[in-house]
């Protein structure tokens, strides 16, 4: 797939996820075959005001490339102005968030609320595209609610404004993440656009990836929640799509090894105090579906150190041997 002049090799990338897809997780997913990664969403307003946290969230390592920085906001001028700071981290592309359903974002005119303001959305894409030679992509939802499924109109506007690829999450903002994905709207967007269309939603393994490709004819996939506690999902997708081979879930011992490695990476980047606090949710995801999982997840929710994590991982391996 070509995003402008950027060549992407593979079938699926890691979707941007606030509070989850940090540098450690992005690197780990690349190790397992994610074709590209995208940063956590960055406030365009925060960037232009020199916010330290926004700057930290933008940092990219070579190990996670090709990688994009995702920005959000509701003001075309501020979105364009933020690009100067974004370029300091040398991203491979820039993604515009038009899909975040969180009240804090959508309630302030950004994220999914742009689905209700197609003219503003188009101006944002135009302004950002004019501010950089890098490829600009847009991630959107199917619409704001069931009465306004307008991803097709939004996607056409995005392409006309200079976007080089569009990702469609086949749910409305109203639906959040619960109901099945609307593959029809993704297919309709693909049929209309000449730029790549990326499918997103409910992709959890090689078979579900193949179904998304088959049902929508999309060019590529983004995996979000399907990678939580399962960075090997990209390995599964690549094996199935390229060879028709099904890679089963790894044994519990391997899951625990990856979990500890992942959390050590988080602590390396953020320090153990912050890292362990953030690690609690990741540990719970890695423990999903194992014997004694409820109790181990409870213990993970009170993690205070790497040593404690390793002790829990050891107990899990014994319990699930």
- 300 CB contacts (<8 Å, ≥6 apart)? 280, 283, 284, 287, 309, 312
What span, in angstroms and rounded, lies between the C-alpha atoms of 231 and 112? Answer: 26
Q: Looking at the structure, do residues 63 and 209 belong to the same domain, yes or no?
A: yes
Same domain as 108, residue 204: yes
Domain stop point among 218, 243, 268: 243
Among residues 100, 218, 267, 317, the one annotated as catalytic is 100
Q: Could you tell me if 73 and 160 lie in one domain?
A: yes
How much is the pLDDT for 276? Answer: 94
**Does one domain contain both 34 and 169?**
yes
Task: Answer yes or no: do 43 and 148 share one domain.
Answer: yes
Contact 110, 100 (CB under 8 A): yes
- For residue 146, the model assigns a pLDDT of 85
Q: What pLDDT, on a 0 to 100 scale, did the predictor assign at position 173?
A: 85
Q: Which of 226, 243, 260 is the last residue of a domain?
A: 243
Determine the structural domain holding residue 91 and report its residue range.
Answer: 2-243
| Domain finish residue from 175, 208, 243 | 243
Answer for the pair 305, 248: CB distance below 8 angstroms, yes or no.
Answer: no
User: What digits encode the pLDDT tens for the residues 78-115?
Assistant: 999 999 999 999 999 999 999 988 888 988 899 999 99
Whether 100 is a known active-site residue: answer yes
Q: Do residues 222 and 126 both lie within one domain?
A: yes
Whether residue 101 contacts residue 18, with contact meaning beta carbons closer than 8 Å, is answered with no
Q: Residue 208 maps to which CATH number?
A: 3.20.20.70
228 and 287 fall within a common domain: no
Q: What is the pLDDT of residues 251-285, one digit of tens each?
A: 999 999 999 999 999 999 999 999 999 999 999 99
Number of domains in the chain: 2
- Are 165 and 223 contained in the same domain? yes
**Same domain? 275 vs 140:** no
The pLDDT of residue 20 is 94
Q: Is 295 in the same domain as 209? A: no
Q: Are residues 271 and 239 in the same domain?
A: no
Give the C-alpha separation, 121 to 261, whole Å.
Answer: 40
What CATH number is given to the structural domain containing 312?
Answer: 1.10.1200.80
Residues of the chain with pLDDT under 50: none
* Residues 233 and 262 both lie in one domain: no
Separation of alpha carbons 283 and 301, rounded Å: 8
Alpha helices in 151-205 (DSSP H): 151-160, 183-192
């Amino acid at each position: 797939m070509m995003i402008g002049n950027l060549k992407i090799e593979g079938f699926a990338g890691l979707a941007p996820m606030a509070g989850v897809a940090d540098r450690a997780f992005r690197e780990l997913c690349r190790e397992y075959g994610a074709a590209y990664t995208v940063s956590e969403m960055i406030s365009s307003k925060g960037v232009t005001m020199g916010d330290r946290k926004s700057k930290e969230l933008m940092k990219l390592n070579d190990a996670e490339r090709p990688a994009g920085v995702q920005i959000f906001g509701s003001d075309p001028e501020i979105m364009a102005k933020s690009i100067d700071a974004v370029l300091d981290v040398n991203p491979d592309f820039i993604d515009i968030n038009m899909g975040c359903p969180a009240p804090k974002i959508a309630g302030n005119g950004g994220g999914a609320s742009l689905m209700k303001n197609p003219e503003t959305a188009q101006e944002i894409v135009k302004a950002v595209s004019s501010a950089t030679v890098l490829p600009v992509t847009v991630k959107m939802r199917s619409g704001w609610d069931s009465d306004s499924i307008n991803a097709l109109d939004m996607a056409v506007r995005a392409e006309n404004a200079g976007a080089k690829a569009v990702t469609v999450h086949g749910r409305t903002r109203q639906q959040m993440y619960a109901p099945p994905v609307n593959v029809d709207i993704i297919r309709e967007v693909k049929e209309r656009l000449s730029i790549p269309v990326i499918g997103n939603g409910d992709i959890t393994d090689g078979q579900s990836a193949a179904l998304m490709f088959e049902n929508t004819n999309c060019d590529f996939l983004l995996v979000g929640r399907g990678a939580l506690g399962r960075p090997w999902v990209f390995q599964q997708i690549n094996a199935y799509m390229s060879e028709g081979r099904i890679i089963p879930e790894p044994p519990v011992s391997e899951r625990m090894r990856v979990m500890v490695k992942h959390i050590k990476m988080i602590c390396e980047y953020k320090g153990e105090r912050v890292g362990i606090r953030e690690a609690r949710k990741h540990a719970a995801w890695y423990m999903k579906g194992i014997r004694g999982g409820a109790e181990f997840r409870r213990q993970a929710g009170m993690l205070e150190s790497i040593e404690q994590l390793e002790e829990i991982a050891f107990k899990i391996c014994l319990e699930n041997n």
